[in-house]
Chain A
């Protein structure tokens, strides 16, 4: 294998993995505060289509990025209102958000499918994704606000008893997670593809969710995990190119298969999951009357 090929492969891995990092790191912060948001896939699609349509209509990258982010704020804000104030089931609400996002993005994007655009340079986002992981790792482990996020996720009753605002903390982490998912979607439709196609995130939201567990809620591990998954995804193309004789469906299946294998492997170590998982994850918080 030549040096050029290796550099080429690394380049493709970098470009294709970045959305996993964005969505994963956002979900990690949300889960650290004790909320499970299964709506990543939906958020990503709506973020992708909003950015794409805005860009086609205005030709302005800034507007498109801005509106894409706003879509994430609105959708995750609705999710937060449902699960925090109305105390709906987080899993059901997250699934509904995904289904809603898939439908909404397909409807909005119908007329725009296949419209050509000039994509943005992905390297800005790649650099930002690395900085983001660094920032989140620093925020969670070194700052007091980060400590409060962890405390709320660890034991919301104690955090409330100490005088912290559980609702506010969780609203902010949910919206942060929502915005990160929108960015992941924006990156896919504006930098990676660049185009719009129905359901174009292709399950990356679910892989990002699995990554958070894979990383046992640690930002740096999430980065490593994302690149392993990204690598597997790219490897399938190269193996096909080299001429390995296996059905194409098998190669397409590989990233998802890897997700399942990793999750089974991780869940087998109960002690590690117990120590690292936020204890209040997926448990609704009810203020004392």
Chain B
């Protein structure tokens, strides 16, 4: 079949890094072409070059065998190239309709837009309410808005950057069906992922990238996740396997009858949540995004004096009213969902970011001054012990790749010797290597007697590391399930709210 996109010797370097090194391969028309690679392998840079978002140092792109000079996203869109971003490019305060209009090349009236988007929604099974503001939508719904927005332009090529990292198994199945239908209708899909199973299930071809170079471009037909994983990493990944037959006895953390009664329409109210956590246990909280995870995490952190009824008890001590730092002093550690802006400040160096989280510890201060010696040595230890790929602790947090920054943040918290570690989306959107490392670290930590709560949308992750899992649905938490008794059907039902 004919090629629709041809990359010819694309080269792009940033200070200190070569993002794309002589990248050449073709993408066939009407195929699903995956680009697979570790974090920092250069896949995002490459598609951003195709989308005109990043300018290559040298090299050419041919579209339908014609040389294309794509120097801005609007040129790309005129060539029929559309992109669905990993961190969505939606406008939070605007409505769905306004977001759709903004994505369109042509001017269109609101009624026409409604007709057009309805046709697309009906055909491919999207469900959108045009008048809702984006801020009220779940992550899955937001992605639907992005996809519909791209489709409204009748694209020839649709680029999707890590589209499944925020979806439930059901939503992923639905998305794949939609993508396959779209390809049958003439679209070419470029799909960036690091999830091997997905690539095998979905794509026709896969280009594997490592350190900015193309390793190979192959048909996915004869591959399985093991062979593909080896090609991607250049080494084998071992799975973290949780030891299941332990008797946990000592209770360490309890949530009793926790409810919230907020009148803010943009938040989910929690409803009589009970949770028991034993020493050395890993407890997973599963569920689709937007079912109260954010609110629960906020209460556990207590950054904003969130009002609630019920009790939170840590080692027989009621901690309802304690501040974040007071809780940290009791040896509870947190890793929040947003890496940049919440867990770490992008403009500050890694050492400085250490201090921000360890402010309650006197060992990092000299009177009122910061003890930089201590902090720097702490930062170096984190970098060394947790395989953080960075030249020094003076690098700004925002310069690190997602996986490296996450390893750094988790390392920072673990090295403060917590008894309870609460993680939210610990492997969200990071590469396979870092993900495996983080999971392994979590499992080892629990074996040392640390109790862990993981709030995550990623079922595979929870099933791999947790002892028990509950599902959060519209603010209610299901009864806990032991991992060995769980099957996906049951969990799927729970995620749809079918539990007592």
Contact = CB atoms under 8 A, between A and B. Distances in A.
Interface of A: 144, 147-148, 150-151, 154-155, 157-165, 271, 275, 279, 288-289
B368 to A, nearest CB: 29
A159 B103 CA distance: 9
A154 B91 CA distance: 6
B51 to A, nearest CB: 8
A151 B94 contact: yes
Contacts of A289: 14, 54-55
Nearest to A276: B93
B308 interface: no
Interface stretch (B72-80, B170-178, B317-325, B468-476): B72-80
Choose among A158, A161, A162, A288 the residue with the greatest number of B CB atoms under 10 Å from its CB.
A162
Contact of B77 (A151, A155, A163): A163
Contacts of A279: 92-93
B247 interface: no
B107 interface: yes
Contacts of A161: 53, 73, 83, 85, 89
Question: Do most interface residues of chain A lie in helix, strand or loop, or is the interface mixed?
Answer: helix
B103 A162 contact: yes
Given A161-B53, A162-B103, A150 B90 contact: no
Contact of A162 (B48, B89, B92): B89
Given A151-B102, A155-B91, A158-B89, 6 more contacts: A144-B101, A148-B102, A154-B92, A158-B88, A161-B73, A163-B77
A80 B207 CA distance: 44
B6 interface: no
B98 interface: yes
A163 B92 contact: no
Contacts of B77: 163
Interface in B83-125: 83, 85, 88-94, 98, 101-103, 105, 107
B196 to A, nearest CB: 28
A226 B92 CA distance: 29
Given A161-B83, A288-B53, A151 B73 contact: no
Contacts of A158: 88-91
A154 B93 contact: yes
Contacts, number: 56
A250 B207 CA distance: 75
Contacts of A159: 91, 102
B326 to A, nearest CB: 24
B305 to A, nearest CB: 13
Contacts of A165: 74
A279 B107 CA distance: 25
A61 to B, nearest CB: 38
Interface residues of B, number: 26
A153 to B, nearest CB: 10
A288 B54 contact: yes
Contacts of B76: 163
Interface of B: 14, 48, 53-55, 72-74, 76-77, 83, 85, 88-94, 98, 101-103, 105, 107, 264
Nearest to B88: A158
B163 to A, nearest CB: 16
A158 B99 CA distance: 11
Nearest to B76: A163
B73 A162 contact: yes
Contacts of A160: 73
A151 B48 CA distance: 21
A159 B74 CA distance: 11
Contacts of B74: 163-165
Contacts of B48: 288
B54 A162 contact: no
A148 to B, nearest CB: 7
A47 to B, nearest CB: 33
Contacts of A164: 74, 102
A154 B94 contact: yes
A163 B73 contact: yes
Contacts of B105: 163
Nearest to B102: A151
Choose among A151, A160, A289 the residue with the greatest number of B CB atoms under 10 Å from its CB.
A151
Contact of A150 (B54, B83, B94): B94
A206 B92 CA distance: 30
16 contacts: A147-B94, A147-B98, A147-B101, A147-B102, A148-B102, A154-B91, A158-B88, A158-B91, A159-B102, A161-B53, A161-B83, A162-B102, A163-B72, A163-B73, A163-B77, A279-B92
A3 B220 CA distance: 87
Contacts of A148: 102
A159 B91 CA distance: 9
Nearest to A154: B91
- 8 shortest interchain CB distances as A-B pairs: A163-B74, A158-B89, A163-B73, A161-B89, A154-B91, A163-B77, A151-B102, A151-B91
Choose among B53, B77, B91, B105 the residue with the greatest number of A CB atoms under 10 Å from its CB.
B91
A275 B73 contact: no
A163 B73 CA distance: 5
Choose among B55, B89, B105 the residue with the greatest number of A CB atoms under 10 Å from its CB.
B89
Given A163-B74, A163-B77, A157 B89 contact: yes
A159 B105 CA distance: 13
B89 A155 contact: yes
B13 to A, nearest CB: 11
A289 B54 CA distance: 6
B73 A155 contact: no
A158 B73 CA distance: 11
A5 to B, nearest CB: 45
Nearest to A271: B264
A148 B99 CA distance: 10
A148 B102 CA distance: 7
A109 to B, nearest CB: 43
A148 B107 CA distance: 12
Nearest to B85: A161
Contacts of B85: 161
A147 B109 CA distance: 13
Nearest to A143: B107
Contacts of B101: 144, 147
Nearest to B149: A162
Nearest to B110: A142
Nearest to A163: B74
Nearest to A275: B93
Contacts of A147: 94, 98, 101-102
B99 to A, nearest CB: 8
Nearest to A278: B93
A159 B72 CA distance: 12
Contact of B107 (A144, A150, A151, A288): A144
A157 B48 CA distance: 13
Contacts of A150: 91, 94
A156 B48 CA distance: 17
B145 to A, nearest CB: 12
Contacts of A162: 73, 89, 102-103
A279 B341 CA distance: 15
Contacts of B83: 161
Choose among B54, B74, B93 the residue with the greatest number of A CB atoms under 10 Å from its CB.
B93
